[in-house]
Amino acid sequence: MNTKKNAHSKDENRNSLSADMADAGAIAVKVDDLTVAYNYKPVLWDIDLEIPEGVLMAIVGPNGAGKSTLIKAILGILKPIAGSVTIYGKPYHKQRSHVAYVPQKGSVDWDFPTVALDVVMMGTYGSLGWIKRPGVKEKKAALEALEKVGMLPFKDRQISQLSGGQQQRIFLARALVQDASIYFMDEPFQGVDATTEIAIINILKELRKAGKTVVVVHHDLQTVPEYFDWVTFLNVKKIATGPVKDIFNDDNLTKTYGINYKVSVQK
Amino acid sequence: MSSAQFEIQLIASLVAIACAIPGTFLVLRKMAMISDAISHSILPGLVVGFFITQDLNSPLLILLAALTGVITVILVERIQKTGLVKEDTAIGLVFPALFSIGVIMIAKNANDIHLDVDAVLLGELAFAPFDRLTVGGTDIGPKSLWIIGIILLVTIGLLIAFFKELKLSTFDAGLSASLGFSPVIIHYGLMTMASITTVGAFDAVGAILVVTLMIAPAACAYLLTTDLKKMLGLAVFFGIFGAISGYWVAHWLDASIAGSIATMLGVVFFLVYLFAPSKGLIAVMYREKRQRIEVLLLTFLLHLKNHSEVEERHVNHLNEHINWQKVKSKTVLDLALKNNMILIDNKIVSLTEKGDEFTSQAIDYIITNEDAQIEDMKKHFFLFRG
């Protein structure tokens, strides 16, 4: 481990620097022997995974690799048939307030009768608990989050009247409002325009700078080295996990995606 | 208006409100058909409850029947989860089975008592004022008024307490689960309430027409608003309107009250469907027409921008060049003139500064697909409103 660290610190790349800090830091998420099945067919098989605190991590893998399933199982949305998940050493249901989740944009009905601000306010519901209603404080937090993602002028817009990129920003704002330590995002770049993609990745990088852990299901392999400092290769089984600099190579890509996957990795 | 007439309208209105509230969420969850399933399959629960209690208005009977409703939902979900059939097929399998069990039970055992299929299906709202509740010898009103009144109070109480949770789990079950608001608990809570309401309403409007009261007002409201609270309010309004107008239509035609209420709600929905300001058929057709013209306008402006030669911009030549019929070109020309986007000088058309800027912006948007640029244009042009 130590020799590896020294090798990193030769270059002053921010990625490896923060990765090193993370190496020394706490484990934010620990997944042990996790198996998830749909109708007895395993979609995730015996996953062991440690996500260090403060990394910006991509989960990559082909379609049907179980990337979304992994996130959902970590968040207790899906019940695993075996294994366990801990967030800072405790089960998820005790750590909800530390975790924010951005589901796939396509998982909700955007024709639902509500406006952008209201969707962002939903991020505050977790800290409110059952029955209690959001008040002035929650509204203020939601407006601030909208400001951060550049969507304040759209706060009263019906959500179906927003573009795909704007909808994704609303989802991001909703996660920001939770003020969590760990953020899970399911394909936040899917179907968004280039400006939104840059805006989102900048916010994610800011989160990491603030010491948060960010886990993103990601599809575009080309941008992995540019956006992320940590990566997990997944295809039903875990193929590899670690710093992008060390493990994002043709070998692991081929193992994950099958026959001779070549991607020009910009080092 | 006699007191019986008033009581009938009051009962019908309360039933309508009690149905509109869960109905709104069923419509938003795309589960409208489940209310149909529940309304039919509570029959065996009613019959068993009636055998035990010998009283159609007993709370035990209502609970038993509501339980059958929840069992229906569970069965539908179980069958659907096997992945062998789709949800609509699962619904179609479950409720006729349960319903027919109820029909056989009535035919075998209840022929000689007051429980017949017609009453269950169609309700007897007209007789509701005759079945009165007395406490210590004092008449305190029709029984069904009390039943539906209590159910409505519980529904409103639950709605106020769990509005936030209902909204969240309906919109985004995944986030709801991750925040610790179990969508399963909320789902079954809603289904239980819908079942209880259905049972409570069945002897007023009949099991089948409950479906109308749950779905039609909510569907009307859905077309008229983009705010969940307003949608609930509008659904309640349409429910009451259907109940009262339906009563008077029945009075006038000397026909079934429940049937008239359902018919009125059908008429109301049809009108809303046609005339709703943004989602209605006419509004949609108008918008599409405008968008077609605006596409033509853009094509026209682009042509002007690309061709600085005078002969390309002569009014007579434009017809041939863009190859439109006369009427179409006139509409487009008028629209461009009205928006100050072109100038016609000596039959030569040229872009104004505004027209030039608009064209560049629009083209830029089409190429980059960035929304920020076209916010101003959305106000004036349908084309950019998606």
Residues B234 and B294 in one domain: no
Q: Chain B within 8 Å of A222 (Cβ-Cβ)? A: no
* B207 and B72 together in one domain: yes
Question: Given a cut of 70, is residue B381 above it in pLDDT?
Answer: no
Task: Check whether residue B242 and residue B295 sit in a common domain.
Answer: no
Which whole-number Å values give the CA distances from A247 to A68, A97, A235, B151, B254, in the listed order? 21, 32, 16, 62, 81
Whether B100 maps to a domain, the answer reads yes
Q: What is the pLDDT of residue A7?
A: 42
B113: confidence class by pLDDT, cuts 50, 70, 90: low
Domain membership of residue B144 (yes or no) is yes
CB contact under 8 A, A96 and B227: no
pLDDT score of A13 more than 90: no
Residues of A numbered 34-93 whose beta carbons fall under 8 angstroms of chain B's beta carbons: which are they? 39, 72, 75-77, 93
Q: Say which DSSP state A13 is in.
A: -
Query: In this complex, do B170 and A112 lie within 8 Å of one another by their Cβ atoms?
Result: yes
Q: Is residue B231 part of a domain?
A: yes
The answer, yes or no, to whether residue B75 has pLDDT greater than 50, is yes
pLDDT greater than 80 at residue B322 = no
Domain limit, last residue, from B278, B310, B326:
B278
- Between B140 and A115, where is the model more confident? A115
B228 and B117 together in one domain? yes
> Per-residue confidence at B330, pLDDT binned at 50, 70, 90?
confident
Q: Which long-range contacts (CB under 8 A, 24 or more apart) does B175-180 make?
A: B175/A101, B175/A103, B175/A122, B175/A174, B177/A75, B177/A76, B177/A77, B178/A75, B178/A76, B178/A77, B178/A96, B178/A99, B178/A101, B178/A126, B179/A96, B179/A125, B179/A126, B180/A93, B180/A96, B180/A126, B180/A129
User: What pLDDT is stored for residue B357 in this prediction?
Assistant: 80
Rounded-to-5 percentages of helix, strand, coil across chain B = 80, 5, 15
Strand arrangement, sheet containing A213-217: A99-102, A182-186, A213-217, A56-60, A230-235, A237-243
Of A108, A133, A193, the CB nearest to B164: A133
**Tens-digit pLDDT profile for residues A140-176:** 999 999 999 989 999 999 998 888 889 999 999 999 9
| Together in a domain, B286 and B198 | no
Q: Among all residues of chain B, which has the CA nearest to that of A151?
A: B372
pLDDT at B303: 79
User: Would residue B314 count as lying in a domain?
Assistant: yes
Q: DSSP per residue over A38-95, as a string?
A: ETTEEEEEEEEEEEETT-EEEEE--TTSSHHHHHHHHTTSS--SEEEEEETTEEHHHH
Find the angle CA(B60)-CA(B63)-CA(B67) to the nearest 5 degrees: 140
Residue B61 falls inside a structural domain: yes
Provide the 10 A C-beta neighbour count for residue B265.
26
Mutate to test the interface with A, among B163, B178, B278, B379 (most CBs of A within 10 A): B178
Q: What percent of chain A has pLDDT over 70?
A: 87
Higher pLDDT pick, A185 / B135: A185
Identify the band that residue B379 occupies on the pLDDT scale cut at 50, 70 and 90. low
Evaluate if residue A14 carries a pLDDT over 60. Answer: no
Question: Tokens representing B145?
Answer: 């008024």
Indicate whether B270 belongs to any domain: yes
| Cα–Cα distance, B109 to B90 (Å, whole number) | 29
Whether residue B197 sits in one domain with residue B314? no
For B339, the domain range is 282-381
Q: Which of chain B's residues have a Cβ under 8 Å away from the Cβ of A158? A: 226
Residue after which a domain boundary falls, among B278, B303, B336: B278
Q: Across B21-175, where does the E strand assignment appear? A: 132-135, 138-142
Residue at B271: amino acid letter: L
Task: Give the closest residue to A104 by CA, choosing from A75, A72, A74.
Answer: A72
Q: Could you tell me if A198 lies within 8 Å of chain B, comparing CB atoms?
A: no
B273/B374 same-domain check: no
Searching chain A, which residue's CA lies closest to the CA of residue B168? A122
Mark whether B213 and B359 lie in a shared domain. no
In chain B, how many domains are there? 2
Q: What is the CATH number of the domain that holds B103?
A: 1.10.3470.10
The pLDDT value recorded for residue A46 is 92
Shortest distance, CA B15 to any CA of chain A (angstroms): 24
Mean pLDDT in chain A? 85
Using pLDDT thresholds of 50, 70 and 90, give the confidence band for residue A103.
Answer: very high
- pLDDT for A71: 94
Distance (Å, rounded) from C-alpha A224 to C-alpha A222?
A: 6
The one-character DSSP state at A115 is B
Which among B244, B278, B312 is the end of a domain?
Answer: B278
Q: How confident is the model at residue A8 (pLDDT cuts 50, 70, 90)?
A: very low
Report d(CA A55, CA A87) in Å as an integer: 14
Confidence of residue B372 (pLDDT cuts 50, 70, 90): low
- State which residue of chain A sits closest to B224, comparing Cα positions: A113
Residues B325 and B233 occupy one common structural domain: no
| Shared-domain flag, residues B294 and B177 | no
The pLDDT mean for chain B works out to: 85
Please tell me if residue A188 touches chain B, with a CB cutoff of 8 Å.
no
Chain A residues touching B170 at Cβ < 8 A? 112
3-state helix, strand, coil in chain A (%, to 5): 45, 25, 30
Give the tens place of pLDDT for each residue, A236-266. Answer: 999 999 999 999 988 888 888 876 665 554 4
A139 to chain B, closest Cα gap in Å = 14
| A20 vs A6: CA distance, rounded Å | 9
pLDDT digits (tens, 9 = 90+) for A17-59: 444 444 457 889 999 999 998 877 889 999 999 999 999 999 9
Contacts of B164 in chain A (CB under 8 A): 125, 128, 131, 133-134
Contact A87, A99 (CB under 8 A): yes
> What's the CA gap between B119 and A216, in Å, rounded?
58
The answer to whether residues A8 and A16 touch, using CB atoms and an 8 Å cutoff, is: yes
Q: Are residues B265 and B340 in the same domain?
A: no
Mean pLDDT of B279-307: 83
Which of A13, A99, A84 is CA-nearest to residue A47?
Answer: A84
pLDDT tens figures, B355-370: 888 888 777 777 766 6
Mark whether B293 and B274 lie in a shared domain: no
Residue at B386 is within a domain: no
Q: How many CA atoms lie within 13 A of A255 on its CB side?
A: 15
